[in-house]
A = this chain, B = another copy of it.
Amino acid sequence: MVYCRKARTDAAFRVDDLPGSGGRMDVAARCVQTALWLSNDIRRDTKIYIVLNGPPRPPVTICFDGATLRNVSPDERSIALWIKKYLQHDATKEWAEINPGISVSKSSFQDVVTAISKDHKLFVLHENGADAAPATRDNVAFILGDHIGLPENDEKYCMRFGAEKMSVGPKSYLASHCMIIANNALDRFEARRDCEATL
């Protein structure tokens, strides 16, 4: 999941100006793409929650579920058009799925953390975390801030649910890039496990 501090929570942004009018909605769109897309396929075992906290009525959370997602292209504009369509919907606390694999609700960052922590081990991606991949492929959730980072109280909230800080390398990477490195680490873990299982 990605915390987007300034991303708009209505559809009053221009798809041809995602960074400005969308409140860095390009970051949200890119994270959806990097979390879910493979070459010629989608990660069917992966969901991403983008938690939008910009004006006028934060929070709004949109979930893209690789298991059932279809009719979405990986370019930023295409993903942003879906986000915009969902922001025209009057979101409530109940999740509403309008298109297969995309749902929206008024859930806050902390609501989503509470929900996913029930059956996921949480990792907060952070420059000062341990540079180590999770020792499991199953039920792992990565939590990222956008270009500004996670608010301190939200980071602390994650820690209350047993989250660990994890770094993905020695430099400071874009959130969307962190997604790829973290997913790649899980892919390698899974491949090793499958390989060992056949020995």
A binding-site residues for B, Cβ under 8 Å:
15-16, 18-19, 26, 30, 34, 37-41, 73-78, 131, 147, 168-175, 177, 180-181, 184, 187-188, 190-191
In the assembled complex, which residues on chain B have CB atoms less than 8 Å from the CB atom of A74?
26, 174
Contact B180 A41 (CB under 8 A): no
Contact B174 A39 (CB under 8 A): yes
Residue in B37, B131, B180 whose beta carbon sits within 8 Å of that of A180 in the complex: B180
Contact B174 A190 (CB under 8 A): no
Residue in B39, B77, B170 whose beta carbon sits within 8 Å of that of A18 in the complex: B77
Contact A75 B34 (CB under 8 A): no
In the assembled complex, which residues on chain B have CB atoms less than 8 Å from the CB atom of A19?
73, 75, 78
18 A–B contacts, CB within 8 A, in A order = A15-B16, A19-B75, A26-B74, A26-B76, A30-B75, A38-B172, A38-B173, A40-B172, A75-B76, A76-B76, A76-B77, A131-B188, A168-B184, A170-B188, A170-B190, A173-B184, A177-B180, A181-B181
In the assembly, what is the distance between CA of A44 and CA of B26, in Å?
A: 23
As for how many copies of this chain the complex holds, the number is 2
In the assembly, what is the distance between CA of A101 and CA of B76, in Å?
A: 24
Given A26-B76, A76-B76, A171-B187, 16 additional A-B pairs, CB 8 A: A16-B16, A18-B75, A19-B78, A26-B74, A30-B75, A37-B174, A38-B171, A38-B174, A39-B172, A39-B173, A39-B175, A40-B172, A131-B188, A169-B184, A177-B180, A181-B184
In the assembly, what is the distance between CA of A181 and CA of B74, in Å?
A: 18
In the assembled complex, which residues on chain B have CB atoms less than 8 Å from the CB atom of A169?
184, 187-188, 191
